[in-house]
Amino acid sequence: MQIGPYQLKNQLIVAPMAGVTDQPFRNLCIRYGAAMAVSEMLSSNPDVWDTDKSRQRMSHAGEKGIRSVQIAGADPELMANAAVVNVQQGAQIIDINMGCPAKKVNKKLAGSALLQNPVLVKEILQAVVAAVDVPVTLKIRTGWVPEHRNGVQIAQIAEDCGIASLAVHGRTRQCMYKGNAEYDTIKAIKQNISIPVIANGDIVTPEKARYVLDHTGVDALMIGRGAQGRPWIFREIQHYLDTGNKLAPVEIDEKRLVMLEHLENLYELYGEYKGIRFARKHVGWYLDQEEQRPFRAEFNRLETVEKQCSMVERYFDEIAQN
């Protein structure tokens, strides 16, 4: 799949997830086979840019692969300005968020709330596309409520405005992340526009990836929650798409090395205090099995880098001895 001048090496993209797809996570997914990883959402409000969180999200030092930066907001002028600033900071693709279902985003009439206002959608897309000379992409949901899935209409507006590719999560805003994603609307969108379409939602196994590609006819897949604690899912999916066979589960030694490297990169990026807290979340995903609940409870009480790393090492040593 191609986005502007950028030829992706395969059909697998990391979905932008606030508080998850920071640079350590993006680089890890790229290493395991993702063709591109979209950054965490950045507000278009310049009043919040002078914070540690925003500065970290706007920095691309050490970034692997194509630098795709997602921005969010509801004011066309602010969105255009945010796109310009992020391109100046090194963004190679600007992605517009019209899919986030979070209340704190929607109450500002941004994210998926914009799907209720096609006129404003058009104004924002036109403003951003005109403001920068890099490809502009868009991420949406299928609509605001199941009774009014207007994804096809929004997709046609996006194509008319010069959007380079469109990612669609197979739920409405009202659905949040409940129930099952549906792909019929994504299929209809793909059939009604000529720009690349990317399917997103509940793609958590190689078999599901194959099904969604075949059912919808989309150009690529976007994987979010399926990669949490499992960055090697991109390698697994690509192998299955190429061969029809499933890879063996990741070796325990590889998992140990990946987890420890991930933790070290979190500590380096955020510093000890914040890094420890981000590590708790990621370790919980890596070990998300019912029998590991006591481990996670103890790990979440640790307050030093040394104790966290030591506990992870002991965990894998015990597995190796059994």
Annotated binding site for FMN: 16-18, 70, 139, 169, 200-202, 224-225
Active site residue 29: no
Cα–Cα distance, 129 to 140 (Å, whole number): 17
The residue with tokens 């968020």 is 97
Phi and psi at 134, nearest 5°, equal -110, 160
How far, in Å, are 166, 168, 169, 222 from residue 181 at the CA level?
A: 17, 11, 8, 13
How many other CB atoms are there within 10 angstroms of residue 116's CB atom?
16
- Among the listed residues 29, 100, 161, 175, the single catalytic one is 100
Beta bridge partners, 97, equal 139
Contact 141, 173 (CB under 8 A): yes
Q: Coil, strand or helix: which one is 152?
A: helix
User: Using CA atoms, how far apart are residues 20 and 120, in angstroms rounded to an integer?
Assistant: 29
Stated length of the chain? 322
Phi-psi region of 13 (alpha: psi -120 to 50; beta: other; left: phi over 0): beta
* 4: nearest Cα among 162, 238, 157: 162
Question: Tokens 């949901």 appear where?
Answer: 141
Element (H, E) at 71: strand 67-72
What's the first-to-final CA gap in the chain, in angstroms?
45
Q: In whole angstroms, what is the distance from residue 193 CA to residue 57 CA?
A: 32
Determine the 3-state secondary structure of 173 from DSSP.
coil
Catalytic residues: 100
